[in-house]
Amino acid sequence: MGAVPRVSVVVPTRGRPAWCLEAVESALAQDGVEVEVVVSLDGDDPGLAASLAARSDARVRVVVHPAAGRSAARNRGLRAARHPLVALLDDDDRLLPGALRARADALARHPQAVLVFGRAVATDAAGREAPSARRAASRGRETCEDFHREQWLGRSLHPSTVTMRREVVERLGGFDEDLPTGEDWVFFLRAADVGPFAFLPVPTVLYRRHPGQVRGDPAMQEAALPRWTARYFDDPRTPPAADRHRRRLEGRHLNWIARNHRRRGDAASARRCFTDAVARDPSLLLHPRRLVRWLSLRLGPSRP
């Protein structure tokens, strides 16, 4: 019988003590692995620290540091991790039973993979699963392949679905702390330079959707897009083949930003971003609803 996989779960957190405790409990409940949970407090939170200490569980370690943002908190947690495998877990998400063992087994089946990822099961702010969310997260087949092109074409990785080999984290040096958003895109694009990604079509994490998420702030997303895309595409280490996908990737993101502007009721910003998105990536119009929206903009004023 093989050795039990050893996994560090890194949970960066700020201002969400109740949800953070749920995330920690979901990690401690994992079976089939030896787990440690590193909770990285982005700023002092005596109440949360006391709640974690009251558990008297040696598997939980708390790292406290001055507030410096999500990436800084994640990086400090990653540096404190001790086990060969490192799982990312946002403080508003929860691991499903058996998640870490399933990911560790996938990495064992694909020793060339630098990380394993999958799809998240969406929930609302109260933690209730969306209809058919688990079925959606189970689509496809297990693969292990170069993931550059998939990311260049707009396919993202949800950090809470990812488990990495520790040496990959050490080689990459962590997430860019000066980027307000998009830092995960840059990190995983760089990770693809190191080796292939394993895709696991098994639901392993519950992803909580709520108004406080950074990805729900379209103005911040729009302002950050030129910064993080330049950070990756203008880097001399980036594969030359990436450059021809730059405008398409920008277009995909502008389309998502336009959708978020619409949801917030900002029709003018939604029109501007959507028009810019199509200019960068005309293939967006292959989707019938986007084509109708674009035609309505060309023919006259209308809500995008």
pLDDT digits (tens, 9 = 90+) for 275-293: 999 999 999 999 998 999 8
pLDDT digits (tens, 9 = 90+) for 37-94: 999 999 989 999 999 999 899 999 999 999 999 999 999 999 999 999 999 999 999 9
SS3 letters for the chain?
CCCCCEEEEEEEECCCHHHHHHHHHHHHCCCCCEEEEEEEEECCCHHHHHHHHHCCCCCEEEEEECCCCHHHHHHHHHHHCCCCEEEECCCCCEECCCHHHHHHHHHHHCCCCCEEECCCEEECCCCCECCCHHHHHCCCCCEEECCHHHHHCCCCCCHHHCEEEHHHHHHHCCCCCCCCCCHHHHHHHHHHHHCCEEECCCCCEEEECCCCCHHHCHHHHHHHHHHHHHHHHCCCCCCHHHHHHHHHHHHHHHHHHHHHHHHCCCHHHHHHHHHHHHHHCHHHHHCHHHHHHHHHHHHCCCCC
Q: What is the mean pLDDT of residues 174-203?
A: 96
Q: What is the mean pLDDT of residues 165-169?
A: 95
Instruction: Place domain 6-214 in its CATH homologous superfamily.
Output: Spore Coat Polysaccharide Biosynthesis Protein SpsA; Chain A (3.90.550.10)
Domain with CATH 3.90.550.10 in the chain: 6-214
**pLDDT surpasses 70 at 248:** yes
User: In the structure, what pLDDT confidence band is assigned to residue 303 with cuts at 50, 70 and 90?
Assistant: very low
